[in-house]
Each structure stands twice: as C-alpha cells, then as structure tokens.
C-alpha cells in the first residue's frame, strides 16, 4: 500500500495532477460540458457584431462566466467583452491551449446545468435575388 502512494506521488510530480475528462475541457476552453449555457465557434465570433443569443443568455444568467479564446483578435472579442461588462459578467481570455479547438466563446455557470443544446446555429446568408445581366443588356435594354 505504501508503494502505491509513493508511485502516485511521483507520477503526480512528473505528469501533474490527474484531471477528469481533460479532452472535454480542452475542447471547451477549460470548461466542463455540463456547465455550459452557450458555445460559439471561432467563425461565429468573427462575424460582424455580437450574437443576440449571447446577450439574451447573459441577461438571464447574471452569475455566468464568459470564456473567450485568447488566440483570436481583439476586434472580434471586443463586443462580447463590452456586453459582459454591461451585465456584470466576468470574462476570461484563455490563450494557453495545448490543443487546437474550433470554439471561440463559452458562456458557462460555475455549477452543472446539463443543457442539451449549447451550439448556436449559423446565420443564414441571403443569396442574390436575381442573376446580374451583362453590362450591355443593362445599357441597351
């Protein structure tokens, strides 16, 4: 029994403390999936303006925390930081990720909420209404 304790202590010293579900935490910027209210991808965060879904969740959950991917540009994150300040929500930029993730923003509680749908749907981009006529048909039509 004593040998096991020594090995555990040595392994902890070499590899660090054991974590529960480390892959899940890496994917969601250091947050467990069960605590998440809302997730945005990097692409969604880079869109112009802030998403209304994020602001609505911030209004409802004043005790939530916002975790931002620190490897993204300040311009992309600025709007979400201002919105968090507006509602008194703490935010953190996480930039020391060991693995690459597509997650750009996580809104989470300090305890488990077990929400099923956490991903926000992409905005629909409107297709051009009609094909453009050649320039000569527009002039001589």
Nearest to 22 by CA among 132, 76, 101: 101
Query: What secondary structure, in 3-state letters, does 94-136 show?
Result: ECCCCCCCCEEEEEECCCCCCCCCCECCCCCCCCCCCCCCCHH
- Reduced to 3 states, what is the DSSP secondary structure of residue 105? strand
Could you tell me the pTM of the whole model? 0.73
Report strand pairing: 65-69 vs 90-94. parallel
Question: What is the arithmetic mean of pLDDT over 20-37?
Answer: 87
Share of the chain above pLDDT 70, in %: 89
Per the prediction, the chain carries an average pLDDT of 85
How does pLDDT run across 86-124, given as a tens digit for each residue? Answer: 999 999 999 876 678 899 999 999 999 988 888 888 776
């Amino acid at each position: 029994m004593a040998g096991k304790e020594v090995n555990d202590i040595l392994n902890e010293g070499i590899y660090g403390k054991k974590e529960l579900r480390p892959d899940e935490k890496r994917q969601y910027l250091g947050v467990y999936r069960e605590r998440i209210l809302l997730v945005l991808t990097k692409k969604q965060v880079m869109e112009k303006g802030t998403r209304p879904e994020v602001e609505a969740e911030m209004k409802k959950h004043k005790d939530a925390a916002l975790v931002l991917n620190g490897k993204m540009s300040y311009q992309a994150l600025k709007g979400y930081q201002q919105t968090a300040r507006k509602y008194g929500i703490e935010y953190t930029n996480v930039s020391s990720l060991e693995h690459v993730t597509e997650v750009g923003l996580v809104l989470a509680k300090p305890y488990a909420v077990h929400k099923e749908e956490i991903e926000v749907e992409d905005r629909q981009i409107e297709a051009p209404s009609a094909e453009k006529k050649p320039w000569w048909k527009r002039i001589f039509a």
